[in-house]
Amino acid sequence: MALSVIFNLAIFIALIYFLYTLQSKYVAFTKRVFAGLGLGVVFGGLLQLYYGAGSDIIVTSIDYFDIVGKGYVKLLQMIIIPLVMVSIISAILKLNGGSSLGKISGMTLGVLVVTTMIAALVGIAWSVMFGLSAEGLTAGAAEMARAEALQTNLGKVETMSFANMLLEFIPANPFLDMTGSRKTSTIAVVIFSIFVGISATGIASKKPEIFASFEQFINVAQAIVMRMVTLVLRLTPYGVLALMTKVISGSNYADIVNLANFVLASYGALFSMFAIHLAIIAMIGLNPVRHLKKIIPVLTFAFTSRSSAASIPMNVQTQEKALGIPNGIANFAASFGSTIGQNGCAGIYPAMLAVMIAPTMGINPLDISFIVTLVAIITISSFGVAGIGGGATFAALIVLSALDFPVALAGLLISIEPLIDMGRTALNVSGSITAGSVTSKLMGETNMDVFNDGQPVNLDGEDATA
C-alpha cells in the first residue's frame, strides 16, 4: 500500500474518531450528520486538489473509504425488508377493516403519481428556460462506453409494456423478493405483507387464540427490528462522511463545468419541486418551515447515499417520530415512494432529456401534444423505477424508447451523474414524505403534538440533552 494512501486513511480514521467524540458528548444527531457532511466535502475537496482528478491514489483510498460508506448502505439495505414487512403487517392488524387500508394505499399512490406529473412539467420548464439541447455534446471514451451499454439494454426496455411492469409487482416467490433480487422486490414484499396482514385479520374472530399469538409474534418482531434500525442509524454520521468524501474526491470538475448549464437547470428544477412539496404541506394545514427542519437529516442522507431504498428506515423514523405520522402510513409512503412516482429520477430527469433531444428530432418541445404525450409516458413509466443508483437511467430508457428517441445522451452525461443524482434522490425521498404527510393529515391521523414539538429529532434514539 502506498504511503500516500496510508496517510489518507489516517486522516479519515481521525475524522471518524472526531465524530465519535461528538457522539460520546451527546451532541444532537442532526448536528453530527451535518458535521459528517461538512467534513466529507472538505476532505474530498482537498484530496482532489492535492492529487488531481482521476488519481490512482484517490481511487485506492476510496476503495477503503467504501468499507465505511458502502458498508453503511449495505446495513441499511439489510434492514429494509424486515422493517417493511413487520411494520406493514403490524399496521394492518391495528386497522379496523380493509377500507382504511384502501384509503391509505389509494391516497399515497395518488399523491406520488400527481407530484410526478408536476415534476415532469417542472423539468420541461427549466429545460426550455435554459435552452438545453443535445446538439454539440461531445463524447469521451467513458461516455461512449456508457452509451453503448445503454443501447444494448434498450432491447429489454422496449419489450416491457405497462401491463408487464404491473405484473412485475406481483410476488411469485416472496422469499426470492426478500433477497432484493428484482427492481420491484420492495413493492413485491409490500404486497406480500399486505396479504399476510389481511389474512391474519380474517381469522381474528374465528380463531382468536391463534390471532392473538400471531399478533404477539409481530409485536416482538417489530420491537427487535426497530432496535436494529436504531443501532444502524447511529452509524449515519460516519456513513455520510465516507459517502460525501467519495463523491467530492471522485468528481471530475472539468466535465461539470462543460455541462454546467445542465447541472444548473437540473438543480433549478429540483429546488422548484422541493418548494412545491412545501406548498402542498402548507395547503393541508401544516407548517412548511417546521416540516422542512424535521426532514433535513433524512434528505441529507439521501443526498449523500444516492439511494431511495436505503433511505427507507430513516424515512420511516422521520415520518413517525418527527412528523407524527402513524407507523403504517409512514411505511406505505416510504416503501411505495422508493419505487413508484420518484419525482427526481422518474419525473424531472427523463423530462429534461426528452426536451434536450426533441429539437434534434425535428420536434418543437413547446408543442402541446408533445408535452402531453411526454408527461403521460413519464407518469406511466414512473411505476417500478428502482430506488437505487441507476434508477433514473432506467426511467430515461423507458421514456426515450417510448418516444422513439436515441438513448445515447444518457451516456454522455455520465461525468455529472453523481452530482445530479444526489439531488434527485433527496427529492425522491421528499416526495414520499410528502405523500405520507398528505395521507395522514387528510385521514385525521397526524399526531400534531409530535409535529409541533420543537425539540431536536433524535433519529438514533439517543438522548441529545444528556
Residue 458 within any structural domain of the chain: no
Give the CATH number for residue 280. 1.10.3860.10
pLDDT tens, position by position, 363-404: 898 999 999 999 998 888 777 565 454 567 767 777 877 787
Beta bridge mates, 383: 340
Q: Which domain holds residue 13?
A: 3-452
- At 125, the pLDDT band (50, 70, 90 cuts) reads very high
Note the pLDDT of residue 233: 82
The radius of gyration of the chain from alpha carbons, rounded to an integer in Å, stands at 22
pLDDT tens, position by position, 364-374: 989 999 999 99
Rounded to whole angstroms, the Cα distance separating 220 from 86 reads 10
Contact status, residue 340 vs residue 383, Cβ threshold 8 Å: yes
- In this predicted structure, the answer to whether residue 443 has a pLDDT above a threshold of 80 is yes
Residue 461 within any structural domain of the chain: no
Rounded to the nearest integer, the mean pLDDT of the chain is 83
Note the pLDDT of residue 141: 41
- In this predicted structure, the answer to whether residue 3 has a pLDDT above a threshold of 80 is yes
The number of folded domains in the chain is 1
Residue 346 within any structural domain of the chain: yes
Note the pLDDT of residue 173: 87
Note the pLDDT of residue 390: 54
pLDDT tens, position by position, 325-351: 988 889 889 888 887 888 988 899 999
Residue 396 within any structural domain of the chain: yes
- Identify which of 387, 304, 307 has the alpha carbon closest to the alpha carbon of residue 395: 387
Residue 340 within any structural domain of the chain: yes
Work out the average pLDDT over 137-147. 47
Note the pLDDT of residue 466: 31
Note the pLDDT of residue 407: 66
| Alpha carbon 397 to chain centroid, angstroms | 19
Q: What is the DSSP string of 99-143?
A: HHHHHHHHHHHHHHHHHHHHHHHHHHHHHHHTT--STT----HHH
Bigger pLDDT: 412 vs 229: 229
Residue 8 within any structural domain of the chain: yes
Work out the average pLDDT over 75-93. 84
Note the pLDDT of residue 232: 87
What are the grid coordinates assigned to 53, written together? 482528478
Bigger pLDDT: 361 vs 137: 361
Note the pLDDT of residue 465: 33
Note the pLDDT of residue 49: 86
Contacts of 25 (CB under 8 A, 6+ apart): none
Residue 465 within any structural domain of the chain: no
Residue 457 within any structural domain of the chain: no
pLDDT tens, position by position, 229-283: 888 888 989 998 998 898 888 776 666 666 788 889 999 999 999 999 999 999 9
Contact status, residue 54 vs residue 252, Cβ threshold 8 Å: yes
Note the pLDDT of residue 140: 47
Contacts of 434 (CB under 8 A, 6+ apart): 111, 115, 277, 280, 281
Highest mean pLDDT among 86-100, 184-198, 429-443: 429-443
- Identify which of 273, 330, 306 has the alpha carbon closest to the alpha carbon of residue 73: 306
pLDDT tens, position by position, 280-319: 999 999 999 999 999 998 998 888 877 887 788 889 889 9
- Identify which of 305, 312, 392 has the alpha carbon closest to the alpha carbon of residue 347: 392
pLDDT tens, position by position, 35-75: 998 999 899 989 988 888 778 899 899 999 999 998 988 88
